[in-house]
Amino acid sequence: MLAAKDPIKTTLQSLAEKHGFLAVGVAKARKLSEEEDSLKQWLANDFHGSMAYMENHLEKRLDPTLLVPGAKSVLCFLYNYYPEKTQHPAAPKVAKYAYGEDYHRVIKDKLHNLMAELQQHVGQTSGRVFVDSAPVMERQWAVLSGLGWIGKNSLLLRKGFGSFFFIATVICDLELPVDSPVTDHCGSCTACIDACPTDAIVQDGVVDASRCISYLTIERKEPIPGHFKDNMEGWIFGCDICQDVCPWNRFSEPAQEPRFQAGEWIDWDAEDWKNLTQQDFEAQFAKAAITRAGFEKIKQSTGFIQPD
Ligand code: SF4
Ligand code: SF4
């Protein structure tokens, strides 16, 4: 006989659907002891480059009950961001996740609304919403919540959807039935490893961020080292290569959220980017994630990918 579905979980799933999430899953809040050695090794290898914040709050990063005292569950949500329209083919490239309004704000708004509605059903709960904003191992939680597997490119992949989605978590004191992890479906494919222009995927599922174009064009404060000059493949903010080549991303469908649609800049060609002024930048990208890099960094990266 099939077990009866938990009514709160059923409500959570219908609220997630109502608010446009692709999927939701639940894992028990506990220390991720099984991740400790690999995280420490990744840091010891200096794969985090100059992202010193990755070294901070290691215990909290591994254990959500230290981040949110009293936490019982980690609720994981996926939100599609695959764009309807892509850039002018000759333009310097921006990663698709940054086309629209800053996802931190958009997804947080949705999750706060969702949790407020959930509380109407379950009463007062306490918890915190995280969208890539605190030491939370989102991908590992998404795996434990049964939402997908970590691909060789180190990103979360979901069968039938691919990887062009945001991951957000709510760490809370609700006790809910947990989901089971799913099987890895990378198989013998190595398309992402073969396509990475900077050889940043150093082993299956492990990226040396200090070599990754995403880090070089966003997180790295200093200029991009000259030896990467021939490997940038036109990217000035992030990089989608290891997602674009992934066979699971053939299933990507355009996102429905209007706040994730790009502005007029999506039609800019190489010349428009070259002539970009601070004023245009601020006008076009006022609410966009691309402002994380800032005008100077974008100009620097645009100059870097142009032939001498
Ligand atoms: S994002 Fe680009 S540079 Fe980074 S691992 Fe993927 S293909 Fe390589
Ligand atoms: S490209 Fe292939 S190996 Fe890489 S994440 Fe996708 S399925 Fe896995």
In a domain, 197, yes or no: yes
**Does residue 138 share a domain with residue 29?**
yes
- Tell me which residue range forms the domain holding 46: 7-84+97-172
Banded pLDDT at 1 (limits 50, 70, 90): very low
Domain-ending residue, one of 123, 138, 172: 172
**What is the average per-residue pLDDT within 51-72?**
93
In a domain, 38, yes or no: yes
In a domain, 258, yes or no: no
Among residues 260, 280, 279, which one has the least CA distance to residue 268?
A: 280
Number of domains in the chain: 2
Distance 34 CA to ligand 1 centre (A): 25
**Does residue 212 share a domain with residue 297?**
yes
Q: With contact defined as beta carbons under 8 Å apart, do 142 and 118 qualify?
A: no
Task: Please tell me the residue having the least CA distance from ligand 1 atom 8.
Answer: 196
**Does residue 195 share a domain with residue 168?**
no
Starting from the CA of residue 154, give the closest ligand: 2
Determine the pLDDT at residue 153: 98
Helix (H) or strand (E) holding 305: helix 295-305
Q: Which amino acid is at 3?
A: A
**Does residue 270 share a domain with residue 219?**
yes
Determine the pLDDT at residue 196: 98
Q: With contact defined as beta carbons under 8 Å apart, do 73 and 27 qualify?
A: yes
Mutate to test the pocket of ligand 1, among 97, 198, 204, 246 (most ligand atoms within 8 A of CB): 198
- What region, left, alpha or beta, does residue 29 occupy, with left being phi > 0 and alpha being psi -120 to 50 degrees? beta
**What is the average per-residue pLDDT within 71-77?**
98
**Does residue 40 share a domain with residue 149?**
yes
Total Cβ atoms within 10 A of residue 145: 27
In the numeric block, which tokens belong to residue 111? 């999750």
**What is the average per-residue pLDDT within 263-284?**
94
Is the model's pLDDT at 3 over the cut of 80? Answer: no
Banded pLDDT at 154 (limits 50, 70, 90): very high
Among residues 67, 212, 215, 78, which one has the least CA distance to residue 143?
A: 78
Cβ–ligand 1 distance for 246 under 6 Å, the answer no
User: 108 phi and psi, to 5 degrees?
Assistant: -60, -45
Domain-ending residue, one of 139, 172, 205: 172
Q: With contact defined as beta carbons under 8 Å apart, do 20 and 109 qualify?
A: no
**Does residue 142 share a domain with residue 58?**
yes
Banded pLDDT at 143 (limits 50, 70, 90): very high
Cβ–ligand 1 distance for 213 under 6 Å, the answer yes
Using CB atoms within 10 Å of the CB of residue 191, give its burial: 0 to 12 exposed, 13 to 18 middle, 19+ buried: middle
Per DSSP, the three-state class of 127 is strand
Distance 156 CA to ligand 2 centre (A): 10
Starting from the CA of residue 237, give the closest ligand: 1
In a domain, 243, yes or no: yes
In a domain, 276, yes or no: yes
In a domain, 186, yes or no: no
Domain-ending residue, one of 117, 137, 172: 172
Give the mean pLDDT of the chain.
94
Determine the pLDDT at residue 4: 62
**Does residue 269 share a domain with residue 157?**
no
Q: With contact defined as beta carbons under 8 Å apart, do 192 and 21 qualify?
A: no
User: 106 phi and psi, to 5 degrees?
Assistant: -60, -50
**Does residue 154 share a domain with residue 26?**
yes
**Does residue 167 share a domain with residue 43?**
yes
**Does residue 197 share a domain with residue 151?**
no
Distance 241 CA to ligand 1 centre (A): 6
**What is the average per-residue pLDDT within 132-157?**
95
List the single range of 13-17, 46-50, 146-150, 182-186 with lowest mean pLDDT: 46-50
The DSSP string of 51-114 is: -GGGGTTHHHHH-HHHHSTT--EEEEEEEE---SS---TTSPEE-GGGSSB-HHHHHHHHHHHH
Per DSSP, the three-state class of 14 is helix
In a domain, 285, yes or no: yes
Q: What is the CATH number of the domain that holds 21?
A: 3.40.109
**Does residue 150 share a domain with residue 17?**
yes
Distance 194 CA to ligand 1 centre (A): 10
**Does residue 58 share a domain with residue 17?**
yes
- What region, left, alpha or beta, does residue 192 occupy, with left being phi > 0 and alpha being psi -120 to 50 degrees? alpha
d(CA 237, CA 8): 40
Among residues 78, 70, 79, which one has the least CA distance to residue 171?
A: 70
Q: With contact defined as beta carbons under 8 Å apart, do 48 and 54 qualify?
A: yes
Q: With contact defined as beta carbons under 8 Å apart, do 29 and 130 qualify?
A: no
Mutate to test the pocket of ligand 1, among 156, 190, 199, 201 (most ligand atoms within 8 A of CB): 201
Q: What angle do CA 229, 233, 239 make, to 5 degrees?
A: 110
Pairing mode, strands 149-150 and 127-130: unpaired
In a domain, 1, yes or no: no
